[in-house]
Amino acid sequence: MNHTLIIYGIQAVLRAAQAGADLYAEHARDRNVFLPDINLSPDTKETQLRQFLDAHPDIAEKTPGIAGLWDKETGFFISSDSSQLDAACAIMLQYKAQIELKKAGKDKKTANYEAKMLAGGRMIEQWRAEKEPPSPIIRFALTLTDIGLEFVSSNPSITGLGSRGEKLIAAFAGNLSALIPDTVDKFGNKEGLADRILGIFLRAGLGTLSNNCAMVFNDKDVETLFKGVVEPIVQNLPNDISEQFEYRTLVDALAGPSAEAVFKLLGENTDGYLGKEFANEKALGAVTSAVFDAVKSTFQGGSIVDIFSEQGVIRLYQAALGVVVEQPALFIDVDETAESKLFKALLNGSAEILKKYPDFHGPMGADLTAMVVKTVGQHAHALMKLNPDDPWENIAKTVLEQTVFGLAEIFEKKNEKGSLEGALKALGKRQIIECGRMVLEQAVLTPRMAGIKESEIQPILSGLAQAMAADENLLLSPEAWLQITAIAAKTASANPGRLFNPSFSGDGNPIAVTVMSAILNAAGRTWRSNEGARGTLLFGETLKSVLEAALSALAGNIEAVSNNPKLVGTFMEYLTGFAKENPDKMGSDGLIKVFRTSIGKVLGQGELPTKAQIINILSTQEI
Which residues, 303 to 362, sit near other proteins by CB under 8 A? none
Q: Any idea what the Cα angle at residue 556 is, between residues 555 and 557, rounded to 5°? A: 135
Nearer to other proteins, 95 or 299 (CB): 95
Of 47-55, 231-239, 276-284, 594-602, the segment contacting other proteins by CB under 8 A is 47-55
Q: Is 131 in the site for other proteins (CB under 8 A)?
A: yes
* Contact between residue 305 and residue 315 where contact means Cβ atoms under 8 Å apart: no
In the complex, minimum distance from the CB of residue 123 to other proteins, in angstroms, rounded to a whole number: 16
- What distance in Å separates the CA atoms of residue 102 and residue 219, rounded to the nearest whole number? 32
In the complex, minimum distance from the CB of residue 120 to other proteins, in angstroms, rounded to a whole number: 22
Q: Reduce the DSSP state of residue 70 to 3 states and report it.
A: strand
Q: Is 2 in the site for other proteins (CB under 8 A)?
A: no
Task: Using CB under 8 A, pick the residue from 29, 109, 186, 534 that binds other proteins.
Answer: 29
Q: Is 27 in the site for other proteins (CB under 8 A)?
A: yes
Of 34-42, 305-313, 350-358, 419-427, the segment contacting other proteins by CB under 8 A is 34-42
Task: Using CB under 8 A, pick the residue from 36, 105, 162, 418 that binds other proteins.
Answer: 36
Q: Is 186 in the site for other proteins (CB under 8 A)?
A: no
Q: Is 161 in the site for other proteins (CB under 8 A)?
A: no
Nearer to other proteins, 69 or 426 (CB): 69
Of 7-15, 393-401, 466-474, 570-578, the segment contacting other proteins by CB under 8 A is 7-15
Q: Is 301 in the site for other proteins (CB under 8 A)?
A: no
Q: Is 10 in the site for other proteins (CB under 8 A)?
A: yes
Q: Any idea what the Cα angle at residue 149 is, between residues 143 and 152, rounded to 5°? A: 145
Q: Reduce the DSSP state of residue 452 to 3 states and report it.
A: coil
Q: Reduce the DSSP state of residue 620 to 3 states and report it.
A: coil
Written in H, E and C, the secondary structure of 477-510 is CHHHHHHHHHHHHHHHHHCCCCCCCHHHCCCCCC
Task: Using CB under 8 A, pick the residue from 38, 161, 214, 274 that binds other proteins.
Answer: 38
Task: Using CB under 8 A, pick the residue from 2, 31, 428, 623 that binds other proteins.
Answer: 31
Nearer to other proteins, 20 or 358 (CB): 20
Nearest alpha-carbon partner for 325 in 370, 279, 286? 279
Written in H, E and C, the secondary structure of 337-388 is CECCHHHHHHHHHHHHHHHCCHHHCCHHHHHHHHHHHHHHHHCHHHHHHHCC
Q: Is 67 in the site for other proteins (CB under 8 A)?
A: no
Residue 338 φ then ψ, to 5°: -70, 140
Of 78-86, 94-102, 525-533, 544-552, the segment contacting other proteins by CB under 8 A is 78-86
Task: Using CB under 8 A, pick the residue from 28, 161, 241, 623 that binds other proteins.
Answer: 28
Q: Is 412 in the site for other proteins (CB under 8 A)?
A: no
Amino acid at 359: D
Task: Using CB under 8 A, pick the residue from 46, 100, 219, 333 that binds other proteins.
Answer: 46
Task: Using CB under 8 A, pick the residue from 60, 70, 77, 462 that binds other proteins.
Answer: 77
Q: Is 104 in the site for other proteins (CB under 8 A)?
A: no
Nearest alpha-carbon partner for 261 in 317, 194, 312, 213? 317
Instruction: Compute the residue count for the chain.
Output: 623
Q: Is 18 in the site for other proteins (CB under 8 A)?
A: yes
Task: Using CB under 8 A, pick the residue from 2, 5, 12, 39 that binds other proteins.
Answer: 39
Of 22-30, 203-211, 389-397, 592-600, the segment contacting other proteins by CB under 8 A is 22-30
Q: Helix 457-470 crosses helix 429-445 at what angle (to 10 degrees)?
A: 140
Nearer to other proteins, 3 or 186 (CB): 3
Q: Bridge-partner residues for 70, per DSSP? A: 77
Nearest alpha-carbon partner for 445 in 489, 404, 487, 483? 489
CB environment 395-417: b (16+ within 10 A), e (fewer): bbbbbbbbbbbbbbbbbebeeee
Size of the site for other proteins (CB under 8 A): 45
Nearest alpha-carbon partner for 403 in 437, 379, 426, 430? 437
The DSSP H or E segment spanning 76 is strand 76-77
Q: Residues interacting with other proteins, by CB under 8 A?
A: 1, 3, 6-7, 10, 14, 17-18, 20-21, 24-25, 27-44, 46-48, 50-51, 54, 76-82, 131-132
